[in-house]
Structure 1
Amino acid sequence: MPPEVEGREGGRQGGRGPAPGSAWVKFRATQVLGGSAAGIFSSVPPEYVQKDNSNQEKEAAEVEVMARQLGELVWQHDVPPPDFSVINDEMGTPLVRAELSLFRREDGTLRELRLRGPRRPTVPEARKDGSELRRSAFHGATVEALKARAFELEDLQWSAVELVGEDVAESAERRLPEFTTATQAEKFKEQEKSVSSLREWIYAKTEEQRENFQPSGPNWSLAGQAMAVPRLPGVWYVHERQQEGGRPLPWLFFNASTGKYYRRVHGTTGSWVQAGTPHQPVTHPITMQSSVLCNPAEGGRKDDLAVALLDLQRTASTLKQPVPFIDKPASLFVLVDGLRNTAAASEFCAKRFHSQILPRLSCRSDPLEDHELVAIMRDSIESLDHALLDSAARFSGCGICVALLMGRRLVVGTLGACRAVLSQKSRSGTWTGRPLAPEQVAHQSSLRRWHHAYAPLNAVDLQSGALRPGCSLHAASATAEQLAQFPEEERLLQRVERAAHPFAALGLTVQQLQGGVAQRARAECEEQLQVLKERFPERVTAALARVQEASEEIESFLRMDTYVTQILAELYYLVDEEGGIPAPKRAAAHLGVEPGCGEAAAQAGIDRRFRALMTQLAQVSPSHAQRGFRILAELADTVQRPQAAVWVPTAAERSVGVARALGFRDLKRPRPLVGLELSSEVMHLEDGPHFLLLLSDGARDLDLPHLVRIAEVHGTRPKAAALRVSADAAAQHSVAEAVGVIAVSLQVGVETEAKASDTKGPEAKKRKVENVTPGGKRKVRVASLLLKYTGVSEADSLARRKASRTQAAAERLLMQTLEELQRPKPGEHKDLAVRFAAKCEVLSDCKSATNKPHADLGWVFEGQFGRDFDAVAFELEVGSLSDIFTTPRGVHILYRLA
C-alpha cells in the first residue's frame, strides 16, 4: 500500500500541524499525487531531509579545492585561485591566446582582473603561456610583474619538448568550477527524479529562497521561471544585452541568496563561471566642450579625419553594444592622419574604430584597471589593422590618436606621427602642459621587431629603436637609379644599408650563386668599406656586421642546396624589382597560374613548386623560410583577387617616414618594418581646468610652449583653439598640408571659476542665472557678433548686410576677434561689454549691432533662435564670451549680459 501522509481535517493536505480543536486524518499518497506515486515514497521527517539542490554547491567546492593546488603550491587567500582559459583571437585569424583571471577582494567586494598572453598558432602553445602566467600568480607575482611576464612571452617560442606534460593538457585550463544552466521547471523535474520521499518533494517545491544581497550596477532584472540560470539554488537576477537582430542575450547572472556573480565563459554558449563584482558606475563632476577641425591638403584632398563620440553610452546603446558599467562622462575621440597622400586608410579606420572598441567595452562589467583599458585600446587597433590589411586600402596607411574619457580617467594611445598634448591650469592661474603617451616604450618594441626584419641601417637606430629624423622606410632594396644619386665612393655603403635581404647586401645575382661566392663577395665589400671607415665609422661598422652575417647565411644555404638558395633569391629580388608590391601578372607568372585565378589555384601553384623547397630551407634558417612563405602568400593574394580592386601607390609614394602606423601591407607582410606598437598613457584628472589637443602630422612644427599658450588663451573655447592651431600650422608650411585637430576643454570638479580675463570686478564670480518667464520659459540677455558667409540662407529678417566671404574666412575673423577682445590695446575701454559692442558695430552682420549701448539682442527666449543658439546662450556665464559656433544664420560669438 502507498504510504500515508498526515493532513488536517477541514484544512489543506500536507498541513504543518493541527488547528485547535481539529482532528487528524490520514490521506494516501495516491490521493495526493495519483496512482503513479504508489510505492516510491518513504516517511522521513522533513527536518532530516538532505536537499538534492546542494549537490552542485558541494561539487563546485570540491573542484575549487583542487584548483587551489598547483603542484606544491597552495592558494591560501580567501578569493578564487588564478585560472586561465584559451580563447580565440578576436581579429578573425586562426590564432589563440591565453586569458588569465585574477581575483582579489577590495572593500568587501570580489574583483576580477583579466590579463591576456601573446597570440599563438596552436592551443598547446597558448596553454603553456597560461600555465606560466598562472604559476607566476601562484608565486605571488604582482599585476605589474605578470604584465612583464606576458611581455616576455611575446618573444618566446616554445620547443616541442616544452609542449608536453600537464601544462599543455586540456585539464590545465578552466580549473575553477563551471556551471551549466537550466530553467526552474527543468530543475523541479530533476528533483522529482532524485527525491526519495513525498516530504522531500513537498519541501523542495515549497521552499522559498531569500534575497540576502542586491546586485551591483544598473539594469538588472529578476530571472523568470522560464529563464535558464546556473544550476545552483537561490534567487537569480540576470543582466541582458541586445544582440544583432534584437534578441536579448543573458551574459551576467547574480545569485541574490549567496551574493555571487557568474559570467559566460568566453567563446562558449552554456558554460558559466564565477565572476567578480560588477562596477557600480559613478557620474563625475566634469563639464566638457569639444571641437573637431580637419583642413584639407593642397588640391582639396582631406587626408585627416576625426570622430568625436561625446556621449559614448548613448552611442553604444544605439549600436546594440551597451556599456552600462562605465563611469560618466564617457567620450571617445579618434583622430586619423592619412599617409601616402591618400585618405583611403584614414577613411577606413575613422568609420570603423568605434565598431572595434565598443564590443570590447560592452562585454566587461568589472571595474577595469588602467592596464585593462590600455589592452582594450591596443586590441581594438590591432583588430582594425588586420581588417585594413585585408581591405582595398591595404597599401595605404595612417597614423592614429585615440582618447577615451571614462569619468576622471583619460586613456590616450598614439601611432605614427599623431600626438596628444594635455595642458592644465594650476591654482595660481598658470598653464602648464606635457605630451601624453611618450614613444619610448613603443620604440623598444620596434627595436625587437627590427632585429628580426633585416631593418635598413640608414633609416633606423638599432640602439634606441627609433626612426632617424628625416629618414624613411622602404619595402625593397635600393635600386640602381636611387644609388646613382650618391657619390660613387658612398654607393656601396648605401647599398648595404638599404639591402632588404642577404643577397642584395653582397650584390649577388641569382646566376652568381655557387659555393664560395659569398665569401669572395664579402672580402670585396669589406675591402671597399674599410676605405670609408674614417669618414663614417659607426655606419661602416654596422655595414661590416651586416656583410659578415649575409655571407654566413648565404653559404649555409648553398651548403644545403644550391637550387633552394636560387629560389629564395628569386623571391627576394622579385619583391625588390616590384617595389614591394608585386603586379598581378608578375605574381601569376611566378606561381604558374592566371591572374584572378582564385585562392585554390594560387595555393596549388605554391604547393607545386615552392612548399617542399621552403620546408627544406627551414632546417637551416627558419626565419628566411618563414619570410619566403610570407612572400608567396603575398603573391597568392595578388593573383587571386581582381586586378583593379586594390589601391596601389605610385613608385614615388612607396616609402614612409613612420615606424608605427595602421596599414602599409607591403611594409608589414612579409617584412615587418612598420609595426603596431601603441604608445599609451592613462591620466587621472585632478580638479581644475584641463585642455586636451589631438594633433595630426600637419601640426608637427608647433612645439609644446606654443600649444600651452593657445590653451591659456582659448582654454574654454575649443573651436577657437582648433582654428588657431590650424592657422599656425599652415603658416609653418610653404605648401598647404592636411591638418587635423581635436580640441577638448574639461572643467573637472564641482566648482569651476569663470575666466578672469572675460569678466570685470564682481562679475568674475557670477554664475549662470536662470531667468524664467511666468510661462515657464527661460530667457537670457546676450549680444551677438554675427558673420555671414556665402551659402547661408538670405531669409533673415535681422540681417544687416550680405557677405561674400567663405565660412572658413568668417571663422578665422571671429577667432582673431576673440583674441583681440581678451588682450585690450592701450587706450581701449577696460569693460569687456563695451569693447564687444564696439566690435559688433564694426563687424557684425546682425541688425542688433546698432542697438545702443550694448549692441545686444535684448531678452532672448528659449527656442527663439533655435537649438544651436540655445545650447550656447543658456550655458554661458554672465559676463563671459562664448566659443565660435554656427547656426543657420551664420557664425557667432556671444557675450552674456544677464
Structure 2
Amino acid sequence: MDAAERNRAAYGMPPEVEGREGGRQGGRGPAPGSAWVKFRATQVLGGSAAGIFSSVPPEYVQKDNSNQEKEAEEVEATACRMGEMTWQLPGVPPPDFSVINDDVGPSVRAELNVFTRKADGTLREMRLRGPRRKTVPEARKDGSDLRRVAFHRFAAVGPGDAAKGAHAEALLARAQELEEVQWTAVDLMGEDVAEGAERRLPEFTTATQAEKFKEQEKSVSSLREWIYAKKEEQLENYQPAGPSWSLAGQAMAVPRLPGVWYVHERQQEGGRPLPWLFFNASSGKYYRRVHGTPGSWVQAGTPHHPESHPVTISSGVMCQPSAAPEGARKDDLAVALLDLPRTAQALKQPVPFIDKPAALFVLVDGLRSSNGASEFCAKRFHSQILPRLSARSDPLEDHELVAVMRDSLESLDAALLDSAARFSGCGVAVALLLGRRLAVCTLGDCRVVLCRKRRQARLLAPTAAAHCAAERRLRAAYAPLDLATAGRPLHAASAGAELLAAAPSDSERLLLRIARAAHPFAALGLSVANLQGGVPVVPRALAECEEQLQPCLAQDHLRERAENALARVREAAAEVESFMSMDAYVTQILAELYYLVDEEDGIVTPKRAAALLGVEPGCGEAAAQAGIDRRYRALMTQLAAVSPSHAQRGLRILAELAEAAAKSGAWWVPTEKAVGVTRALGFRDLKRQRPLVGLELASEVLQLEDGLHFLALLTDGARGLDEVRLAQLAEVHGSRPKAASLRIAADAGKSAPEEAVGVIAVTLQVGVETEARERASDKGPEPKKRKVENLTPGGKRKVRVASLLMKYSGASEADSLARRKAPSGRTQANAEKALMEVLEELAKVQPKELASKFAAMCEAFSDCKSATNKPHADLGWVLEGQFGKEFDAVAFELEVGGLSDIFTTPRGAHILYRLA
C-alpha cells in the first residue's frame, strides 16, 4: 500500500479507482491521470443529477463537534467572576443559584449549589435553600448573598481540606440569618436582583442522535466537508457511580454534548420511564434536570455510591387509647417502615443512592382530643419524604438531610391546613436511619430517646433552640404576655367575659384581660362603639389602664406581670392612635374584624362569615372574594400605609371569612380550643390569622457506633417517664422492642390514664455480633453462638424451639396443636401484656436455669399442647415453613439459648426459646 492509499484509509475513504481520460458527453471530463469516484445524486445532493468529485481532497476539513463545549466553557468562565472575586479551582464549577417555586404556598426561594472536590477526586455538590419569599427579586437577593459568601469561603478549598466543614457552617449560619432579614426597596436594586444574577452556569438542552446528525448536516459549509467529515469515535474513559445505570439508546434525547452517554431512569405513575440523571462516560461528568424547567440539564456532582452497613433493625409499636370518661380514643398513631427502599420501589419513588439498611419511623401525637390530624399525617408523611429522597443522587450532608425532613413536614402541614381536619393538630417525632446515620426531628411534646447498654439514656433533638425561635415568633404575633412565665395555653381569641368574671380580684381581672388580649383594642378595653368617640378616647383609655395598674405595681408577686401589662397597653395605645389619626372608619372596621374572631373563639362559623361579607353561606369562592373587594380591600390597603402588620393580619382574617362563607361542607371544630404547645402540625386557627403555633423543628443527626442501641419515640402521654426510667427499661428489654413498647405504654398509662400513649421502640444492633459480646459482659459467660443451621436430608432448615403461646379472641380456632381455647374476654393487648410480664420474670433468671424456667412457664401459661412435652415443653424439630413465615422470621434468627421478643401468628401471641 503506497502513501496515497494509506492516506485514504486513514480518512475512511474508498479505494482509488482508475480515472478515465476525455470529456463527458456534452462537457469536459476529469483531468487526465487523476483518480475519480462517481457518486449518486441521492448520496450528495438529494436530486437527480450525478456528480463526480475527487476522492482525495486537497485539504481535509473535519466538522467541529465541540461548539456546545466551547460555549459552556465561556459561560462558566463568566460565572467564575463575582465582583472582585474570582473562582480559581480548576475542574470545580463555581457556586451558582437558581430561583425555584416552593411547594408551600405561593412563594419562591433561592437554591444555592456549591461544588467541592473530594480527596478521591470526585465532585461533590451541596445544596442550600434560602428563606421563602413572596417575590423573585427578594429570592435573587438571597441567592446573590449566599453565592457571595460561598465565593469567599470556598474559593481556596482544596480536595480533602479540613476547613471545609467550618466553611459550610458559615454558609449555613448566613442562611439562617436571612430568615430574619426583610429586604428594602433600596436593597432590591442593582446586579444582585437582575435576571443575570441567577443560573450563571451553562444549561444544556437535549437531542437524539438522529437530531444531532441532522443538525450536523445543516451546519457544514461545503459538500466537500459533508462528504469527507470523519465520524468521531467516542471513548468510554469513566464508569458511572452507583447502581442501575444503562447505556442511552440512539433514540434517547441526551444533552447536546459529544460523548458516550449513560442514563438513570425512574418509572412514572403511568409506567413510562423518565430520565433524571445523565452521565458522560467520555468526560466523566454528571448532569441532572433543572428544577421546574423541563428539557434543561446542568452539571451535577458525583452520585453517592451506596454502602451496606452491618446494622440489624427490629421494632415494636404500641399505640394505647386514652381511658377518658367519654370513651377510649386512639389519638396517637405510628408508622414503621423497616425496609424503606422496598416501600419506595413499590410506590415508584426509588431511592437507589442511599445507604442501607434504610428505615423510617414516624410517631404522631394527636392533640385537641382528636385523631383527625394524626391520622392525616400518619397516612401521608411517607408520600412527602420519599419523592424528596428519590430526587437526590448526591451524598446528603447532615443539614441537607434535616432540610429534606423539614420540607416534608412543612408541605404536609400545608396540606393538613387545607383539609377537613384543619383545626385539629398533632405533634410528631421522626427518625430516619440511613446506614449508620440516624436523623431525628421532633415537633410538639414528642420525644426521642437513645439508650446504650450500661449507659444513661440521652434525649435526642433537644428543643432549646426551637423554643427560643418559637418565643421570638410569639412576641411578634402579639401572644399572651404570661405564656413563658406561667405556662398558660394558647388561645386564638382574647379572654371572654365569662372567664374575666371568674377572676378572683379586680387586679387579676385586669392583668388577665391585658395578657390574653389578641389585639390592641382588647388590651385597652376599647369596643367598636367606644371608637366612635374619635382620637381622644385612646389617651383616656390608656390613662385609665395606667391608674388601675398602679396597685399591681406595688405588690411584689404581681409586679413583673404588671410591668409587662403596662408596656403592652402603652404600645397598644400608640398603635390605635395611629389608626385613628389616619381614618376613624378604617379603625372601626379593623376592630370589628378582631372582635368577631374573639366572639367566635377563633373559628368563625359560615353563617357569621357570610353575614359580615354580605353574601349567602355556601356562595362560592368568587362571590366571597367579591364581598371582600366590595367592602374591605381598599380599607386594608389604606391601613397598610400606617401598619403593614395589622393590614396583613386583617387580610388573613378576611381570607378565613371568605373560605368559611364560600364552602357549605362541614369540618371538625374542637370543643376545647386552647392549645398547650407552640410547635405542631395543623391548628389553622392558630396559624393563618396570627402565628401562635409554628413549625420550628428540633433536629439532630448522629453516627451510630458499634454496639446495641435502643431507640424510643414517645408521645406526650409518656411524659411521666424520664430518661433514667427509660434506661432501666432498656436494660431489661433493650433487645426486645415489642416488649419494651408494651412496658413503656403500661407505665405511662399509670401516670396519665386519661391520655393516649404512643410508643415506637427500635433495637439497632450495629456491627457484627455485638449483642452477644454485650450480653457476655452483662451476665458472665458468653452464651453459645448460633450453630450452623441444621438441615434435613432434603436441604430444608430446621430448628428446635419451645413456644409459650397465648391465644386471644380473634385468633384462629382451627388449631390442631391448641391445648385449650382462649379465655373469654382476653384481647390481643391482654395476651401481649401477659407475655411481657413473663419476659420480665425470665430476665431475672441465670442463663443456666433459663431452659427449665421457660419450660415451667410454658406448663403454667401456654395454650399450646407442647407445654406438656417433657422435659423442655418444646415443639421438637420445626421445619422451615411448618408454622408460617411469621414464626420462621423469629425462630430461625434466634441464637441457641436465646429468648425471642413477643410476636403474633394466626394461632395467637408467642415468645420462643431456642434449644438447638
Length-normalised TM-score, structure 2: 0.92
- Partners of 1:39 and 1:830 lie apart in 2 by 100
- Change in 2 beyond 3 A, CA 1:125/1:536: same
- Change in 2 beyond 3 A, CA 1:64/1:829: closer
2:730 maps to which residue? 711
- Which of 608, 622, 625 aligns to 1:600? It is 622
1:446 maps to which residue? 470
Q: For 1:58-104, what per-residue CA distance to the aligned partner results, in whole angstroms no more than 9, with x for missing partners?
A: 1100110000001111111231000000111123x221111000000
Paired residue total: 872
- Which of 649, 658, 661 aligns to 1:639? It is 661
Cα RMSD (Å): 2.4
- Change in 2 beyond 3 A, CA 1:799/1:619: same
- Partners of 1:801 and 1:518 lie apart in 2 by 82
1:880 corresponds to which letter in structure 2?
Answer: G
Q: For 1:333-392, what per-residue CA distance to the aligned partner results, in whole angstroms no more than 9, with x for missing partners?
A: 111111111111011000100111111111110000000010000000000000000011
- Which of 703, 724, 731 aligns to 1:684? It is 703
- Which of 88, 94, 100 aligns to 1:81? It is 94
1:137 maps to which residue? 150
1:859 aligns with 2:877: yes
Preserved contact between residue 404 and residue 410 of structure 1 (Cα < 8 Å):
yes
2:673 corresponds to which letter in structure 1?
Answer: R
Give how far 1:202 is off.
5.7
- Partners of 2:52 and 2:474 lie apart in 1 by 76
In structure 2, list runs of 5 or more residues that go unmatched. 18-32, 155-166
What is the SS of the residue equivalent to 1:140? helix
Moved more, 522-531 or 317-326: 522-531
Moved more, 628-637 or 149-158: 149-158
What is the SS of the residue equivalent to 1:753? helix
Preserved contact between residue 753 and residue 765 of structure 1 (Cα < 8 Å):
no
Give how far 1:574 is off.
0.4
1:120 maps to which residue? 133
Identity, in percent, stands at 73
- Change in 2 beyond 3 A, CA 1:803/1:757: farther
- Which of 785, 792, 798 aligns to 1:773? It is 792
- Partners of 1:515 and 1:40 lie apart in 2 by 100
2:655 corresponds to which letter in structure 1?
Answer: A
- Change in 2 beyond 3 A, CA 1:44/1:606: farther
- Change in 2 beyond 3 A, CA 1:39/1:507: farther
- Which of 272, 290, 300 aligns to 1:247? It is 272
1:464 maps to which residue? none
Moved more, 764-773 or 561-570: 764-773
1:695 maps to which residue? 714
Q: For 1:242-284, what per-residue CA distance to the aligned partner results, in whole angstroms no more than 9, with x for missing partners?
A: 1121111111100000000000100011111100000000010
1:511 maps to which residue? 529
1:523 corresponds to which letter in structure 2?
Answer: A
1:501 corresponds to which letter in structure 2?
Answer: H
1:480 aligns with 2:502: no
1:406 maps to which residue? 434
1:323 maps to which residue? 351
- Partners of 1:204 and 1:498 lie apart in 2 by 83
Give how far 1:450 is off.
1.3
1:811 aligns with 2:832: yes
1:571 aligns with 2:593: yes
- Change in 2 beyond 3 A, CA 1:26/1:677: same
Give how far 1:431 is off.
3.0
2:424 maps to which residue? 396
2:299 maps to which residue? 274
1:610 aligns with 2:627: no
Q: For 1:293-339, what per-residue CA distance to the aligned partner results, in whole angstroms no more than 9, with x for missing partners?
A: 11111222110111111111111111111111000001111111111
Give how far 1:116 is off.
0.4
- Partners of 2:127 and 2:357 lie apart in 1 by 24
- Change in 2 beyond 3 A, CA 1:202/1:284: farther
1:465 maps to which residue? none
1:288 maps to which residue? 313
Q: For 1:136-181, what per-residue CA distance to the aligned partner results, in whole angstroms no more than 9, with x for missing partners?
A: 1112162212222111212222122222221111111110011111
Equivalent runs, 1:81-480 vs 2, <5 Å: 81-91=94-104, 93-106=105-118, 107-140=120-153, 142-196=167-221, 200-201=225-226, 206-298=231-323, 299-425=327-453, 430-460=454-484, 468-469=486-487, 471-480=488-497
- Partners of 2:85 and 2:36 lie apart in 1 by 60
Preserved contact between residue 44 and residue 227 of structure 2 (Cα < 8 Å):
no
1:3 maps to which residue? none
- Partners of 1:547 and 1:46 lie apart in 2 by 95
Preserved contact between residue 181 and residue 230 of structure 1 (Cα < 8 Å):
yes
- Change in 2 beyond 3 A, CA 1:451/1:378: same
2:99 corresponds to which letter in structure 1?
Answer: V
Preserved contact between residue 437 and residue 679 of structure 1 (Cα < 8 Å):
yes
Q: For 1:832-872, what per-residue CA distance to the aligned partner results, in whole angstroms no more than 9, with x for missing partners?
A: 11111111111111111111111111111101111110000
1:868 corresponds to which letter in structure 2?
Answer: E
1:745 aligns with 2:767: no
Give how far 1:125 is off.
1.1
- Change in 2 beyond 3 A, CA 1:767/1:198: farther
Preserved contact between residue 213 and residue 256 of structure 1 (Cα < 8 Å):
yes
- Partners of 1:44 and 1:518 lie apart in 2 by 100
What is the SS of the residue equivalent to 1:270? strand
Give how far 1:120 is off.
1.0
- Change in 2 beyond 3 A, CA 1:712/1:309: same
What is the SS of the residue equivalent to 1:451? helix
Give how far 1:750 is off.
2.3
- Change in 2 beyond 3 A, CA 1:768/1:457: farther
Length-normalised TM-score, structure 1: 0.94
Preserved contact between residue 900 and residue 913 of structure 2 (Cα < 8 Å):
yes
Q: For 1:579-630, what per-residue CA distance to the aligned partner results, in whole angstroms no more than 9, with x for missing partners?
A: 0000111111111111111111111111111111111111101101110111
Preserved contact between residue 759 and residue 880 of structure 1 (Cα < 8 Å):
no
Q: For 1:483-540, what per-residue CA distance to the aligned partner results, in whole angstroms no more than 9, with x for missing partners?
A: 2222123100011000000000010111111212121111111122121122312111
Give how far 1:454 is off.
0.1
- Partners of 1:32 and 1:641 lie apart in 2 by 69
- Change in 2 beyond 3 A, CA 1:30/1:759: same
- Partners of 1:363 and 1:885 lie apart in 2 by 36
Preserved contact between residue 776 and residue 782 of structure 2 (Cα < 8 Å):
no
1:633 corresponds to which letter in structure 2?
Answer: A
Give how far 1:36 is off.
4.0
- Change in 2 beyond 3 A, CA 1:132/1:203: farther
Q: For 1:176-224, what per-residue CA distance to the aligned partner results, in whole angstroms no more than 9, with x for missing partners?
A: 0111111001111111122235664466563220100000011111000
- Partners of 1:17 and 1:212 lie apart in 2 by 33
Moved more, 615-624 or 186-195: 186-195
2:765 corresponds to which letter in structure 1?
Answer: Q
Preserved contact between residue 210 and residue 257 of structure 1 (Cα < 8 Å):
yes
- Partners of 2:43 and 2:706 lie apart in 1 by 70
What is the SS of the residue equivalent to 1:857? strand
Equivalent runs, 1:621-632 vs 2, <5 Å: 621-632=643-654
Preserved contact between residue 529 and residue 544 of structure 1 (Cα < 8 Å):
yes
Give how far 1:16 is off.
7.1
1:54 aligns with 2:76: no
Preserved contact between residue 84 and residue 100 of structure 1 (Cα < 8 Å):
yes
Q: For 1:778-822, what per-residue CA distance to the aligned partner results, in whole angstroms no more than 9, with x for missing partners?
A: 000101111111222222111111222222111111101101111
1:656 maps to which residue? 675
In structure 1, list runs of 5 or more residues that go unmatched. 1-5, 462-467
What is the SS of the residue equivalent to 1:403? strand
Give how far 1:761 is off.
7.1
